[in-house]
Amino acid sequence: MIVLEHVNKVYDNGFHALKDINLEFKEGEITVLIGPSGCGKSTTMKLINALNTPSSGKVLIDGKNISGLNPVELRRNIGYVIQSVGLFPHMNISKNVGVVPRLKKWDKGKTDQTVNELLDMVGLDHTVYGTRYPSELSGGQQQRVGVARALAADPDIILMDEPFSALDPISREQLQDELIRLQQDLHKTIIFVTHDMDEAIKIADTIILMKDGEVVQTGKPDTILRHPANDFVRNFIGSKRLENENENIYEIPLVDEVMITNPVTSFPSRGLAEAIKMMEMKRVDSLLIVDRNKQLQGAVSIYRVLDQYGEEGKTVADVMHPVRYSVASGSTLPQAIEIMDSHQLSNLPVIDSNNRFLGLITRGSVVKHLAEVYPTMVPPLLNGEDE
């Protein structure tokens, strides 16, 4: 177990980076440190392998104050993964993974065996990748090697500093899944720094949320989501969620995307016979009446027209009924469906801010839109190699 007691960090220029930090990192758990940039999450993590030393306070690993330990020795017993991966370009993949065992002077046979096992474990066949060089691997593969390297000397503690942030979304997902899978077998004490709330929720056993060098809230992901301690936490969860929403394929469609843009319309001056002809041709049972300025005047149904058909000289303007419901451009589809549902409408015109007619939402158009969107709503399959 790792314990931070009253840790403060003040830099020479007077910047108070960490303010009285008291934390506990439980053994065999993934603890995620999260917060906006500059909140001190990385600084906090680096206290544990003495890349950073506290100005005051104690860092205890299994009850031992690490200030009494040789930092180089300490680091060899703690795995370390960073965002830029930092593989050594002049060593092949096997050599890279075997770095810490060699520093610890393991014998060659044991080192080689461990390296091969680890490469296979992170999904890189050691017979294929062992002799390659880092520049020959994709970003995702490099970070797999980075993870294998951190595990090489079988440390109890692994520090991960935004390890997946620089990867493309697919590789990132894969590596997160992989980490969760590995952790089920390995039960390491993992301290994971990120600024991505989705990542934190996905992998964390415990989340520590930080801001301006202070711990704002600590708890299980579910607890933090359900009971955010204050507005900052709420915003941090919320804003992050919204940000992701924008690039999300599940976003709520707008009426503009769903509407039919060329519904059957008619000018108000048309005669009734013409109207019937038109409805016949286009196989519809009603017409929207739109004037030359694209203003929506009303609608006529085929029953109304047939009813008045005997009176020659009448135009559709005389028999049309006003359109009572419409929806503004930019509204969401659920809003439109709500209106259609509560007023038993078979269709709903979309108009812009100048009252001009833009298109028509019909039940058919909604179904058609869903049919187009549905295939992409199935999460992409995640079994391909990230090359």
Q: Residue from 7, 47, 93, 99 that binds another protein (CB under 8 A)?
A: 99
Does residue number 75 form part of the binding site for another protein (CB under 8 A)? yes
Does residue number 51 form part of the binding site for another protein (CB under 8 A)? yes
Does residue number 126 form part of the binding site for another protein (CB under 8 A)? no
Binding mask 212-251 for another protein (x = CB under 8 A): ----------------------------------------
Binding segment for another protein among 10-18, 98-106, 283-291, 305-313 (CB under 8 A)?
98-106
Please name the residues in contact with 346: beta carbons below 8 A apart, sequence gap of 6 or more: 340, 362, 363
Beta strands in the chain (DSSP E): 2-10, 16-25, 30-34, 56-61, 64-65, 78-82, 157-161, 189-194, 206-211, 214-219, 265-266, 286-290, 296-301, 327-328, 347-351, 357-362
Does residue number 101 form part of the binding site for another protein (CB under 8 A)? no
- Determine whether 145 is exposed, middle or buried from the number of CB atoms within 10 Å of its CB (0-12, 13-18, 19+): buried
Residue 200 has a CB neighbour count (10 Å cut-off) of: 24
What minimum distance in Å lies between the beta carbon of 329 and another protein? 48
| Distance of alpha carbon 14 from alpha carbon 172, whole angstroms | 37
Beta strands in 99-188 (DSSP E): 157-161
Provide DSSP, 346-380. SEEEEE-TT-BEEEEEEHHHHHHHHHHHHHHHSPP
9-36: burial string, b at 16+ Cβ within 10 Å, e else: beeeeeeebbeebebebeeebbbbbbbe
Name residue 264's amino acid. V
Q: Residue from 61, 97, 137, 203 that binds another protein (CB under 8 A)?
A: 137
Toward another protein, which CB reaches closer, 139 or 271? 139
Return the residue matching tokens 């593969």.
Answer: 141
Q: Residue from 14, 63, 68, 89 that binds another protein (CB under 8 A)?
A: 89
Does residue number 134 form part of the binding site for another protein (CB under 8 A)? yes
Q: Residue from 135, 246, 342, 353 that binds another protein (CB under 8 A)?
A: 135
Toward another protein, which CB reaches closer, 152 or 299? 152
Beta bridge partners of 208: 33, 218
- 369 φ/ψ angles, rounded to the nearest 5 degrees: -60, -45
What minimum distance in Å lies between the beta carbon of 86 and another protein? 3
Does residue number 90 form part of the binding site for another protein (CB under 8 A)? yes
Please name the residues in contact with 216: beta carbons below 8 A apart, sequence gap of 6 or more: 35, 209, 210, 229, 230, 232, 233
Toward another protein, which CB reaches closer, 79 or 263? 79
Binding segment for another protein among 3-11, 129-137, 197-205, 337-345 (CB under 8 A)?
129-137
Does residue number 69 form part of the binding site for another protein (CB under 8 A)? no
Binding segment for another protein among 9-17, 27-35, 132-140, 266-274 (CB under 8 A)?
132-140
Does residue number 68 form part of the binding site for another protein (CB under 8 A)? no
Q: What is the dihedral of CA 297, 302, 307, 312, to 10 degrees?
A: 70
Does residue number 188 form part of the binding site for another protein (CB under 8 A)? no
| Distance of alpha carbon 145 from alpha carbon 133, whole angstroms | 11
Toward another protein, which CB reaches closer, 75 or 172? 75
What minimum distance in Å lies between the beta carbon of 46 and another protein? 8
Toward another protein, which CB reaches closer, 86 or 271? 86
What minimum distance in Å lies between the beta carbon of 174 and another protein? 18
Binding segment for another protein among 54-62, 66-74, 207-215, 290-298 (CB under 8 A)?
66-74
Toward another protein, which CB reaches closer, 247 or 387? 387
Residue 135 has a CB neighbour count (10 Å cut-off) of: 8
Q: Do residues 51 and 60 lie in contact, with contact meaning Cβ atoms separated by under 8 Å?
A: no
Q: Do residues 264 and 284 lie in contact, with contact meaning Cβ atoms separated by under 8 Å?
A: yes
Toward another protein, which CB reaches closer, 91 or 373? 91
Q: Residue from 106, 133, 232, 267 that binds another protein (CB under 8 A)?
A: 133
Does residue number 157 form part of the binding site for another protein (CB under 8 A)? no
Query: Residues interacting with another protein, by CB under 8 A?
Result: 49, 51, 72-77, 80, 82-90, 99-100, 103, 133-138, 146, 149, 159, 387
